[in-house]
Structure 1
Amino acid sequence: MSQTTAQPDSQISNSAPPPVPPTTLEQTGLPPDSLSQLVIKTLYTGESSGTMLGDRLQVPYSIFERLIEAARSEKLVEVRGATGAGTAGYRYALTDLGRERARALLDVNSYVGPAPVPLAQYVSFMTALAAMRGHVDRERVHNGFLHLVVNPGILDQLGPAINSGKSVFLYGPPGNGKTVIAEGIGQTLGGDMYLPYAIDVEGQIITVYDPVNHQSLEAAEERLLIAAPTHDRRWVRVKRPVVTVGGELTLDMLDLTFNPISKFYEAPLQLKSNGGVFVVDDFGRQRIRPRDLLNRWIVPLESRVDYLTLHTGKKFEVPFNLLIIFATNLNPETLADEAFLRRIPYKIYAKNPTVDEYSRIFELNCRRRKLQFDPVVIEYLVRRYYEPRNIEMRCCHPRDIVEQVVDMSRYQGREPTLARDL
C-alpha cells in the first residue's frame, strides 16, 4: 500500500509525498504470520496496551487486532486489565506458553521494532519517488552555498551535475573545500523524504533507518497512533540523507551486514543514502584499491539498480537513486580507466581561490570567531608569505590562520586580534 503518485517534472520539492497508510492487514503487504510473530516478540519485552503495541509496531491496532485474538485463542496471550475503552485499551501479556513461543521466535530472528516494509513496496515507492525527481536552477544552487565562498564557475558546474542525478568526481588540491562542497550539495537539495525503518525480504529483516546517518523530522507526539495516521508509520520522515564515508570504507560496507547473534541485517551505506547524496571522501585513500571499489559501482551507475545478497544466497535488486560524489586530491585519470570514467560524466576541478575569494573566506572566518577583519592583513600575507615563498593559496588557509590566532591569544591571555606578532 506504500505508494506515491508521480508529478510532472519541476524543481526538486522541499517535501516528498508520504506513503499511503494501510487500513487493512493485506495492505501492509506482510504475511499474517510475520506480523503475528512480531507482536509475540514485542510482548516478550513486557505487557502493553493495544494502542501502545501499535505505536511500537508503527501499525494501527485495528490492523492486527484479529492476530491478537488468534494468539489469545491459542493461549499465547492473555488480558491483564484495561487502560482505556475497547480492546485497544486492554493490557496484553504473554502466557507461559507465549513466552516459550517468543523465545523460539527470537532465536530465529531477534528483530523487535517497527513492522518492516515488504521489498516490493519499498521498490515501488522509491521508483515513484525517482520518477518525481525535479531539478535545481542556478538561483537555488547559488543560494544553497551562500554560507560558503565558492567560485561561481564551480557552482555552475555543480548545477547540471545535481540535475543529472548520477555521479560526480570532485577533485583538486587538498584544502580547497571539496568535502564541504560535496556536503553542501545535500543542503542545496534540502527538503525531506520518507524511508522505512526496516525492509522484509522473504522473511529476512534489513534495518534501514539509522539515527547516525538520518535525521528524523518526526516529533514524539506525531508517532503516537491514537489519531488517524497521515502516512504509513512504518516509514519515517527524515531530512534528505547525506551519508559521508572516508578512508575507512571497505567493500564489505557496501553489502548487507548480517549479525549472526541478532540474525537480521543492516542496510549498506548506499541503501541508506537512497534518495539523497553519498559522499566518498578522500577517494583513492581507502584501504581497498580504487579499481575494486569502482568495479563495485559500474553496474549500479549504469542501470540505476543495485544487487544485494542475503547470507542464504538469495539475490535481489533495489533502486539505486542517489547522487554519488567522489571527492579526491588525485587526478581521476590515475584512479580509473576510461570505461568507468565514462560513467561519471561530471568531473569538477576545485581550484585554488583567487585573492578576492581568499579575502572573503578570511572575513567569513573572522566573523565566526568574532575577530575584527582588516583587508590589510591579506595584503600583508600575500606580500610577506605567499609571493616570496611561492605558496599557493588554499581555501583552508584563512580558517587555519584564524584558529591559530585565537589559540595563541588565549594562551598568552590576550584579546584575539589579527596582530602581526601572532
Structure 2
Amino acid sequence: MSFIPVVFPTKPKKPKKKSVRELRAEKAAEAAKTATGGAAPTYYPPGTSATGQPPSPTGRVVVDGDRRPVLDPDVLAAVVGPRERDLHPDPWIPARPETVEETGLTHEFLTELVLKHLYVRGAKSGHELAKTICLLFPLIETAITDLRQRRLVEVTKSSGNNQAAYIYNLTNEGRIRTRELLEGSRYVGPAPIQLDEFKEAVMNQRLQSLDRRLTRAEIAEGFSDLVLSDEAMATLGPAIASARSIFLHGYPGNGKTSIAERVSRLMTIPMYIPYAVLVEGEVMLLYDPRYHERVDFGDEEGPDIPESVSPLLGPAPLTDQRYVCVERPSVFVGGELTMDELDLQYDPYTKVYTAPFQLKAVGGALIIDDFGRQRMPPDELLNRWIVPLEKQVDFLSSHSGVRFEVPFECLLIFATNLDPSDLVDEAFLRRINYKIEVKDPDREAYEKIFKLVCSGLGVRYEPAAVEHIFNTYYGEKGISPRGCHPRDILNHLKAAAVYEGVSAELSPGALDQACRSYFLIMESGKMSDPDIRSLA
C-alpha cells in the first residue's frame, strides 16, 4: 500500500509509527545479528532480493541468505481475509506502541486510567488490566508501581512470579482519589490515541488511496438485484469508483435509498479505527457498534500475531489493540437530523464526548436521506458541508469553546425526492462531484422488476399482469410508474392470498384488489390528490 504523508503546518509532525512489516523486519534482523555474533546482516527491503528474484506477495526479509517472512500469508489472511488481500495486498495495520512515549499519553493519564479501571471492574491482575486498557503490561507497569508507592493501589495476591501476574486492588485512599477523578471524567475503556495519530491513520486508509479501484463488472454485480437504466449506471459507476460525493435526486420510490445502501456495501476492504481519541485532554468516543461492524476473525478477540515481549510475559499481539478492525461504515441519517448532531456530543454526566455522524462515517459512507426534510432549512445544512467538501477537513468545537480540525474522509451521498432547484444553489452543486437523476422505470425496466419480485415471493409471473396494471392504472388513472410499485403491489397481493388461505396468483381480480388498496383510488376512480403518486 502507498502511504500518504500527512503534513499539519500548525503543529510539529510526530514521527510516523512503524508498520507491522517494518517492526517484524527489524526484529528478524536483530535476531540474526545476535546469532551471527554481532555481524551486521544484509537487509533487502520488500520488493528486492539478493538474487534479483521478485519476492513473495507478502514481502520478505533476507538475512544472510535466509528468507524470513515479514508477514506470512496465514497471518495476513487472518488480519484482512482473502477477498480484501486480493483488492489491497499491502493493508495498513497499526503497530503496537513499544514505549509510553509512542502511545502519546502522559504518565498521569495512564495512572488515572488504571485507577478508574480498578474502581469500576474490581481487583484485576496486571495481565487483565493491560488487556482492558489495550496496552502491553510494560507500558502500564510504571504507572502501577507509582500508584503502589503512593499507597493508592495494593497487591492482594499473586498468581505467578512476575508483576503482570499480581492481583491489584484499590486501597481506601485509592478509592477516595478515584471518586475525585470520576468527577472530572467517567471514561473507563481502552486507552485513547492522540488526534494527530488518528488523522494519520485515516489518511493511510482513505478510499482514494486504495491500490485498485472497483471495476465495471464488480459494480454491476453489486447492483445485480436492482434494475437501473444504462444512463444511471454510466454515471453511477465512475462516481463509486472514484469515491467522490454523489447527489441522487428523482421521484420517490425509484430506489435512491437502495442505491445508496449498495454503494456502501461495495466498499469491502476493512479498516482500523480507534475506540477513542484524545482531543485537548478530553476523550472522544469514536467506535459505535450501531455503525461499526467488527470483522469476524473466527474468535472473540481477533487474531493474535505472536511476538513475545519477554520470556516472562509470553506472546502479545503485534497490532495496536487500541484499534478495532471494522467493515467500512455506512451511516444513514434522515429527516430527524439536526445541526447539533453534526458537532461533538457532550455528555454532562460522563464528561465524555461522542463523535458526530460524519466522523463515525470516516473511511466509509455518510448517506443523508430525505434531504430537504430535516429540521433546519436546506441552505443551512448545505452551508455546513461546503468547507468539508472543498478541503476534506471539518472543524468541531468542544463545550469549552476549543475548535479543532478533524479529517473529512467519507463518501457523502445526498438523496432527495424534492426538486433540486428548490434546495441547492450553483455553488453547492459545483462541490458535489456527481449528480444522478433516478428516473421512473420504463415499460421494459418495470417488467424486469416485476419478474424479480415474483421470483422472490414465489409467485408465477404472467406477462398479462403487467399489461393489466399499465392499461388500468398507469394509463386510465394517470399514475406514474415507480420502481417500488411491483414490490408493494405484489406484497399486497401475497398478503391477501395468505389471509384467504389460497395460493397467490396474478389474476385480474387479485391485482385490482391490491392496486386499489395501494394507490388510494377514490370512488370516482381518481387519485385523492394529484400530487400523491406513491406511498413508498
Which interval holds the TM-score relative to the shorter structure?
over 0.9
State whether structure 2 residue 201 is matched by structure 1 residue 113.
no
State whether structure 2 residue 205 is matched by structure 1 residue 92.
no
State whether structure 2 residue 472 is matched by structure 1 residue 384.
yes
Question: How far, CA to CA, are the matches of 1:313 and 1:2 in structure 2?
Answer: 31
* TM-aligned CA deviation for residue 85 of structure 1: 5.0
1:154-169 equivalence runs, <5 A? 154-169=232-247
Q: Measured at CA, do residues 201 and 223 of structure 1 come closer, stay the same or move farther in structure 2, by a change above 3 Å?
A: farther
1:168-317 equivalence runs, <5 A? 168-218=246-296, 219-222=299-302, 227-317=315-405
Question: How far, CA to CA, are the matches of 2:318 and 2:166 in structure 1?
Answer: 25
Choose from 50, 60, 79 the match for 2:126. Answer: 50
Q: Which amino acid aligns with 1:39?
A: V
Q: Secondary structure at the match of 2:351?
A: coil
Q: Is the 8 A contact 1:55 1:223 kept in 2?
A: no
Q: Secondary structure at the match of 1:44?
A: helix
Q: Which moves more between the two structures, 272-281 or 347-356?
A: 347-356
Q: Measured at CA, do residues 3 and 352 of structure 1 come closer, stay the same or move farther in structure 2, by a change above 3 Å?
A: farther
Q: Which amino acid aligns with 1:50?
A: G
Q: Measured at CA, do residues 417 and 55 of structure 1 come closer, stay the same or move farther in structure 2, by a change above 3 Å?
A: farther
Corresponding residue for 1:367? 455
* TM-aligned CA deviation for residue 352 of structure 1: 1.0
* TM-aligned CA deviation for residue 274 of structure 1: 0.7
1:126-165 equivalence runs, <5 A? 126-130=202-206, 132-133=209-210, 134-165=212-243
* TM-aligned CA deviation for residue 87 of structure 1: 2.0
Identity fraction in percent: 43
Question: How far, CA to CA, are the matches of 1:2 and 1:38 in structure 2?
Answer: 23
Q: Which moves more between the two structures, 122-131 or 102-111?
A: 122-131
* TM-aligned CA deviation for residue 17 of structure 1: 2.1
Q: Which moves more between the two structures, 99-108 or 17-26?
A: 17-26
Q: Is the 8 A contact 1:11 1:136 kept in 2?
A: no
Q: Deviations over 1:33-78 (max 9, x none)?
A: 1122111101101111112212211212222112111111111111
Q: Which moves more between the two structures, 395-404 or 45-54?
A: 45-54
* TM-aligned CA deviation for residue 2 of structure 1: 5.2
Q: Which amino acid aligns with 1:339?
A: A
Question: How far, CA to CA, are the matches of 2:17 and 2:290 in structure 1?
Answer: 25
Corresponding residue for 1:34? 109
Q: Which amino acid aligns with 1:97?
A: E
Question: How far, CA to CA, are the matches of 1:223 and 1:69 in structure 2?
Answer: 30
1:405-420 equivalence runs, <5 A? 405-420=493-508
Q: Measured at CA, do residues 3 and 151 of structure 1 come closer, stay the same or move farther in structure 2, by a change above 3 Å?
A: farther
Q: Which moves more between the two structures, 122-131 or 313-322?
A: 122-131
Q: Which amino acid aligns with 1:54?
A: A
Q: Is the 8 A contact 1:165 1:323 kept in 2?
A: yes
Name the larger-Rg structure.
Answer: 2
> Which of structures 1 and 2 has the larger relative contact order (alpha carbons within 8 angstroms, sep 6+)?
1
* TM-aligned CA deviation for residue 84 of structure 1: 4.5
* TM-aligned CA deviation for residue 12 of structure 1: 6.2
Query: What TM-score do you get using the length of structure 1 for normalisation?
Result: 0.93
Q: Measured at CA, do residues 177 and 83 of structure 1 come closer, stay the same or move farther in structure 2, by a change above 3 Å?
A: farther
Q: Deviations over 1:173-208 (max 9, x none)?
A: 000000010111011122211111110012100000
Question: How far, CA to CA, are the matches of 2:385 and 2:18 in structure 1?
Answer: 28
* TM-aligned CA deviation for residue 4 of structure 1: 5.8
Q: Deviations over 1:261-312 (max 9, x none)?
A: 1101000000000111000001001111110001011111100010111112
* TM-aligned CA deviation for residue 404 of structure 1: 0.6
Question: How far, CA to CA, are the matches of 2:241 and 2:408 in structure 1?
Answer: 16
* TM-aligned CA deviation for residue 338 of structure 1: 1.3
Q: Is the 8 A contact 1:15 1:192 kept in 2?
A: no
* TM-aligned CA deviation for residue 364 of structure 1: 2.0
Q: Is the 8 A contact 2:205 2:271 kept in 1?
A: no
Question: How far, CA to CA, are the matches of 1:108 and 1:397 in structure 2?
Answer: 55
Q: Which moves more between the two structures, 324-333 or 130-139?
A: 130-139
Q: Is the 8 A contact 2:92 2:204 kept in 1?
A: no
Q: Which amino acid aligns with 1:222?
A: G
Q: Is the 8 A contact 1:11 1:135 kept in 2?
A: no
* TM-aligned CA deviation for residue 337 of structure 1: 1.5
Q: Is the 8 A contact 2:154 2:171 kept in 1?
A: yes
* TM-aligned CA deviation for residue 139 of structure 1: 1.7
Question: How far, CA to CA, are the matches of 2:344 and 2:89 in structure 1?
Answer: 30
Q: Measured at CA, do residues 164 and 331 of structure 1 come closer, stay the same or move farther in structure 2, by a change above 3 Å?
A: farther
Q: Is the 8 A contact 1:4 1:129 kept in 2?
A: no
Choose from 319, 322, 326 the match for 2:410. Answer: 322
Q: Measured at CA, do residues 412 and 12 of structure 1 come closer, stay the same or move farther in structure 2, by a change above 3 Å?
A: same
Q: Which amino acid aligns with 2:231?
A: G
Q: Secondary structure at the match of 1:189?
A: coil
- The alignment of Structure 1 onto Structure 2 pairs a total of residues equal to 419
Q: Secondary structure at the match of 1:275?
A: coil
* TM-aligned CA deviation for residue 228 of structure 1: 2.1
The gaps in structure 2 that reach 5 residues or longer are: 1-15, 21-45, 47-84, 306-313, 511-536
Query: What TM-score do you get using the length of structure 2 for normalisation?
Result: 0.74
Corresponding residue for 1:69? 145
Q: Secondary structure at the match of 2:362?
A: coil
